[in-house]
Amino acid sequence: MRLAAMAVMMMAGGWMYASPGTETEASYRVFRQPEDRLVVWDPRVEFGVGVHGLNEEQAVLLHDVGVRIIRKTMYWNTIETTTEAGKYDEKALAAWDETVKLCARHGITLLVIVHGNPPGVNFEHRQDGYVRFAHFMTDMARRYPTVRYWELWNEMDVGFTDLFGAGKDVAPLERGKMYAEMLKLAYPAIRAANPEAWILTGGIAEPWGDFTRGIYEGGGREFFDIMNVHTYGVPLWGSFLGRGMACRAIMTRYGDADKPMWNTEFGIDAGNMVQAWGYPHDRQPAVDDAKFFDDEMIREYKDCLDGARKYGLYQKVLAYQFVAGNECKPAGIEEKVRLPKGMTLDDYGYGWLRKDGKTPRPLYEWIKKLNFNAPLVSEPSREVTVGYGLPGWKPKGFPVDSMDMFETIKGVHLDGMYPTAIPLEASK
């Protein structure tokens, strides 16, 4: 096959291609990892959601809208509650044991985000904190081998912890470099404890990209598998797409063009709508507040999900949040907003459900009808032929066909939920 007849992709250390026959460039993406392996991943966009808690009834509701992956926070400081490293609260661990079992019963994949400084961990002793965090992650990865996705910290570029300079007189670029120092310890620790684990950066919130550049400038490129951003704002799709494009441009600049990127928090609530546009009932002509909040949330989600499919920026997008209230409450909003009897502002917050945690909102019903994940549910895995060109290297355990200056790896199992790793060995 002539090179001109192929879709060609550039990868650090070699060329990757996907032929336009049975396979197309959109069929898979692939990148090289430093420990001598290729990683192949399914670029079909998947829609998930974050949860604060989870019970049997909610797991059924998630299943009914085709959600296969959820994001839940493991607070380090509620498990390791003293200054003694490795001394864990058994009650907190038992609760996590039940969560993992619940997800397994319902076929739900867990993305576990870990953050929260325990006693004795702070900016002044951050190097010790990074070491202690790596030890903690080793223990958690061993305890929960079925958890294969770990997200390290939450919006650590701007808050939630001081370990990387947030809240201190530290420039965002330097914060990113500090975060890279932690990755260099935590990444190999998790992978040693569970070689099937995949590591996400914590959701990056700052919009200008200095923190992201800092991760690369600090040598962190080899120590995470998936880039991750959080996007908010009004209109929601503006930051959802704009921030994603900006982050992808930075990744490309540092040789990570083909590494997956996720968005693990995006959403909108009534408070943000009021802050941006005023009260619906004050408009001319007046609009019903409650209906506007529900309808606008659907419109915002639609724009984001349409954009996710159109531009292919993200492999997975996880909304904030399955059950959540308002985080933006302008002064006087509780008294001025006009809601149905018995309803509060939190019934029109970030959640897909009302504040009772069981009553579906119109958004939930819209998501159910949309059936966004249908392609992945109907075809959760497939077999692909992967093109590669890495002089001096060959895949272990896979048949290879030579084609001009390229070679193809046949029979690669591509899972829509998890990447596939292909080990490499030096050619003789």
Say how far apart CA 162 and CA 179 lie, in whole Å.
Answer: 11
Question: Token digits for 278?
Answer: 């005023």
Examine the pLDDT at 1 and tell me if it is beyond 50: no
pLDDT averaged over every residue in the chain: 92
Q: What's the mean pLDDT in 275-281?
A: 95
Please, which residues bridge with residue 49 across strands? 70, 319
Range of the domain at 139: 44-378
Residues 26 and 12 in one domain: yes
Residues 147 and 102 in one domain: yes
pLDDT of residue 405: 60
Residues 151 and 284 in one domain: yes
Residues 79 and 109 in one domain: yes
Say how far apart CA 390 and CA 387 lie, in whole Å.
Answer: 10
pLDDT one-digit tens code per residue, 413-428: 999 999 999 999 888 6
Residues 390 and 268 in one domain: no
Say how far apart CA 302 and CA 305 lie, in whole Å.
Answer: 5
Residues 27 and 52 in one domain: no
DSSP one-letter code for 280: G
Helix, strand, coil in percent for the chain, rounding step 5:
40, 25, 40
pLDDT of residue 82: 97
Residues 38 and 50 in one domain: no
Q: What's the mean pLDDT in 97-110?
A: 98
DSSP conformation letters of 345-374: GGGGSS-SB-TTSSSBPHHHHHHHHH-TTH
Examine the pLDDT at 19 and tell me if it is beyond 50: no
Residues 6+ apart with CB under 8 A from 44: 315, 375, 376, 416
Q: Strand 149-154 relative to strand 198-203: parallel, antiparallel, unpaired?
A: parallel
Question: Token digits for 180?
Answer: 């890279």
pLDDT of residue 288: 97
Contact by Cβ (8 Å): 231, 203: no
Examine the pLDDT at 5 and tell me if it is beyond 60: no
Q: Which one of 361, 378, 395 terminates a domain?
A: 378
Residues 292 and 192 in one domain: yes
Residues 21 and 110 in one domain: no
User: Structural domain tally of the chain?
Assistant: 2
pLDDT of residue 15: 31
Examine the pLDDT at 146 and tell me if it is beyond 70: yes
- For the entire predicted model, the pTM comes to 0.93
Q: What's the mean pLDDT in 249-265?
A: 97
- Chain centroid to Cα 216, Å, comes to 19
pLDDT of residue 404: 57
> Between 18 and 241, where is the model more confident?
241
Residues 407 and 277 in one domain: no
Q: What is the CA radius of gyration of the chain?
A: 22
Residues 17 and 100 in one domain: no
Examine the pLDDT at 41 and tell me if it is beyond 50: yes
Examine the pLDDT at 303 and tell me if it is beyond 80: yes
Q: Residue holding tokens 């529900």?
A: 294
